[in-house]
Structure 1
Amino acid sequence: MNSSASYQGGYIDPNFPNPMGPNDATIIIYGYTPSLAVGVLGVVLFTIASIASIAHLYLLIRHRTWYFTPMLVGTLMEIVGYIFRILSSQQDPYSVPWFVVQYFFIVIAPVFFSAAIYTLVSAMINIYGKEYAPMPPNVVLGVFITCDVVATIVQIAGAALVGVAYSNQKNPTTYNHILLAGLAFQVFSFAVFLVVLAWTLAKARKSPTSIERGFIAALVVATLAVYLRTCFRLAETAEGLMQNLSTHEAFFGCLEFAPIVVAVFLFTYWHPGRWLKSGVLASG
């Protein structure tokens, strides 16, 4: 079906009549009515993490780990995203702007977590020694942050166009392909980063300088959690609009929400200001 053709289908909550406002789609774009419990839990948990991050500001200053501030930015963005899921849940799940806003913030936030991970690995390369990594620390930052920015811009554009298409009762499939392309590129680039991380950790066993094993374990688990979340988004989008993965909030809760919570709270305790040596900046 052509994207300009009239599009029918999708989820309508029989217990939540469509307000039919000027910004409302004819269906609930989420594929379900968002759960109040998930929204509240998201706001509460990420608020706790944000407070902990703010409490760690003195570590950022004392140990010059300013590069870890993206974690705080990301947690604050998660809070905004889940606030809009609460609004959708309780007031208007058909609202296109609210869907786009929550999608924007919840999708963008992990990019900041990834950026924080890239900076940590960059700092670790400086600690171990550049000879133990496949590329200089400044290249790690430049390449993978650029990849994430490009992938995220494509995703947001695709998601916004999908929302507009639903609002105008047009087939959003073409725009979903744009979203899919962004996610596929992000999964690929992150997989390359995992290779760089594995290479560095393997070679660093010969380095005369060591880093706390608990910190390394936390970094690896958090990194894999963020990657799991990205793979879920890719699988969800590849399956197609209004299919099984995208129409059951349990998948969102277990494969989007939970992995990010795990990553955030791991770094809340294993903060680099406490566990990583001070004065280490990316250079190259």
Structure 2
Amino acid sequence: MSTEVVPQKYVFYYYTPSIVAAAIFAVIFALTTIAHGFQLIRSRTWYFIPMFIGALMEAIGYVGRIMSHSDKENLGPYIMQSLLLLVAPALFAASIYMVLGRLIAYLDAAHHSMIRLNWLTKFFVLGDVLSFMMQGGGGGMMAKATEESADLGQKLILGGLFVQLLFFGGFVVVAIRFHTQIVREPTVLASSLQTGGKNGWLTLLRVLYGASALIMVRSIFRVVEYIQGNKGYLMRNEVWLYIFDAVLMAAAVFLFNLVHPSNVILSEDRKGYTGGEAGLQDVEMQRHHGGRKHRDSENRQRR
């Protein structure tokens, strides 16, 4: 007589999700999403749409945790919060990658980039897409709600997080090298533009560093969390999710409300910018010619 092996049921939560904490961060992310929406439309910085979508996903994710408070075994809200909170930072990273590429072009400093400017954004965004798909696929496997599928899903998510850390680490190296070079050998445009304050390109670069550091710490936390597994200390204690994920991601998104890329990049040429790559190239040509006129003026003064 054979006995059928029934897969063990996957335990969603080893605690009751806090409705107060989830509600606080749902509101925080909703507010920053609205602010990003206004900034996005006003400045027409369409390349920053991933940041807006990621913030919206965070808000919806915490709504899922609110729903889980009264029904911990409901699969829908669990998947909503688990998947959205997991993959949203990948969209933040995509926006950060695109901002650096545009900043380098804006400052006419492509020669200071370790990676050819045409490939810089594409390279890191492709890595981000790979990470996003791996984490999303792992989250989908966890939706089957069995121990076996959840274990495979966690391994796929862990792989996606390692890919994210690898590409993010490479991005930080590229950013630091560019920063070092542009400070040591500033271009004519970099020298003529504001560096400090909300409109300063150096301020924006520092914001990129700050947001990158927050995402890196959060990703390391997630790696440790998934290495420990569903029964590990981090997943069994809700407080760590809020300390090392919610707070850090809220800070990262809010940084770009304070210092929005539109304050710096194309701030003087925004009316003529269409939002596409062709528009960006047109503006860069204008900036380049402006820099050349500036150099010609200096030469005439010396004479």
Superposition pairs of residues 140-151 of structure 1, within 5 angstroms: 140-151=120-131
Q: Tell me, yes or no, if the aligned pair for 2:138 and 2:154 is still in contact at 8 Å.
A: yes
Q: Does 1:203 align with 2:181?
A: yes
Give the 4+ runs in structure 1 shifted more than 6 A. Answer: none
Q: TM-score, normalised by structure 1?
A: 0.83
1:33-68, Cα deviation, whole Å (9 max, x unpaired): 21112210111101111221122135423xxx3212
Q: Does 1:258 align with 2:241?
A: no
How many equivalent residue pairs?
258
What's the counterpart of residue 160 of structure 2? 182
Q: Tell me, yes or no, if the aligned pair for 2:43 and 2:262 is still in contact at 8 Å.
A: yes
What's the counterpart of residue 136 of structure 1? 116
**Structure with the greater relative contact order (CA < 8 A, sep ≥ 6): 1 or 2?**
1
What's the counterpart of residue 87 of structure 1? 67
Q: Tell me, yes or no, if the aligned pair for 1:49 and 1:264 is still in contact at 8 Å.
A: yes
Q: Find the partner of 2:86 among 79, 102, 107.
A: 107
Q: Does 1:123 align with 2:106?
A: no
Q: Tell me, yes or no, if the aligned pair for 1:165 and 1:171 is still in contact at 8 Å.
A: yes
What's the counterpart of residue 289 of structure 2? none
What's the counterpart of residue 33 of structure 2? 50
Structure 1 vs Structure 2 CA RMSD: 2.3
Shift of residue 165 of structure 1? 4.1
CA distance in 2, matches of 1:176, 1:108: 13
Instruction: Give the aligned residue type for 1:203.
Output: Q
CA gap of 1:121–1:30, structure 2 versus 1, over 3 A, is: farther
CA gap of 1:165–1:54, structure 2 versus 1, over 3 A, is: closer
What's the counterpart of residue 30 of structure 1? 13
> Which stretch of structure 1 is more off in the superposition, 231-240 or 103-112?
103-112
Q: Tell me, yes or no, if the aligned pair for 2:33 and 2:55 is still in contact at 8 Å.
A: yes
What's the counterpart of residue 17 of structure 1? none
CA distance in 2, matches of 1:261, 1:125: 26
1:218-248, Cα deviation, whole Å (9 max, x unpaired): 2211111112111111111112221011111
Q: Find the partner of 2:58 among 60, 68, 78.
A: 78
Shift of residue 29 of structure 1? 1.3
Aligned-residue identity in percent:
26
Structure with higher Rg: it is 2
CA gap of 1:46–1:237, structure 2 versus 1, over 3 A, is: same
Q: Tell me, yes or no, if the aligned pair for 2:54 and 2:88 is still in contact at 8 Å.
A: yes
Name stretches of at least 5 consecutive residues in structure 1 with no aligned partner. 9-25
Instruction: Give the aligned residue type for 1:204.
Output: I
CA gap of 1:114–1:241, structure 2 versus 1, over 3 A, is: same
CA gap of 1:274–1:127, structure 2 versus 1, over 3 A, is: same
Shift of residue 27 of structure 1? 5.6
> Which stretch of structure 1 is more off in the superposition, 253-262 or 94-103?
94-103
Q: Does 1:267 align with 2:256?
A: yes
Q: TM-score, normalised by structure 2?
A: 0.78
1:134-170, Cα deviation, whole Å (9 max, x unpaired): 013331221111111111211122222233143xx54
Q: What's the secondary structure of 2:144's corresponding residue?
A: helix
CA distance in 1, matches of 2:83, 2:155: 17
Q: Tell me, yes or no, if the aligned pair for 1:27 and 1:94 is still in contact at 8 Å.
A: no
Shift of residue 271 of structure 1? 0.6
Q: Tell me, yes or no, if the aligned pair for 1:59 and 1:274 is still in contact at 8 Å.
A: no
CA distance in 2, matches of 1:147, 1:67: 17
Q: Tell me, yes or no, if the aligned pair for 1:5 and 1:171 is still in contact at 8 Å.
A: no
Query: Greater share of helix residues, 1 or 2?
Result: 2
